[in-house]
Amino acid sequence: MWAVTGQREVPPITRFLAEQLATAHWFDQRRTRQALGWEPSVTLEEGFARLADSYAAASATAASATATAATTAASAVASAPRAQPPADGPRPDQLQA
């Protein structure tokens, strides 16, 4: 199908991509470990725990930054000079909604 711009539309997901997303991918590292003489220094459980801690810390940092930004914005709004109606105009309490 051709778009108005003349460009061919790309489907958001292809059959291949759907299959790849639905398939577990496991790779045998035995030969690589043997060739390099490498062994992991962190277990999967510890690695996942570190990852969870990292996400929690990043989330807390983001929440703190958001709260700081909100406080700064609220302070700026509160300290901003208020607009005054013209001397010859109606007072705010005289305006009707």
Task: Give the DSSP letter string of 10-72.
Answer: PPSS-HHHHHHHHS------HHHHHHHT---SS-HHHHHHHHHHHHHHHHHHHHHHHHHHHHH
Q: What is the mean pLDDT of residues 16-34?
A: 90
The answer to whether 9 and 3 have CB atoms below 8 angstroms apart is: yes
pTM listed for this prediction = 0.41
Per-residue pLDDT tens digits for 32-51: 899 999 998 999 899 999 99
The secondary structure of residue 80, as a DSSP letter, is S
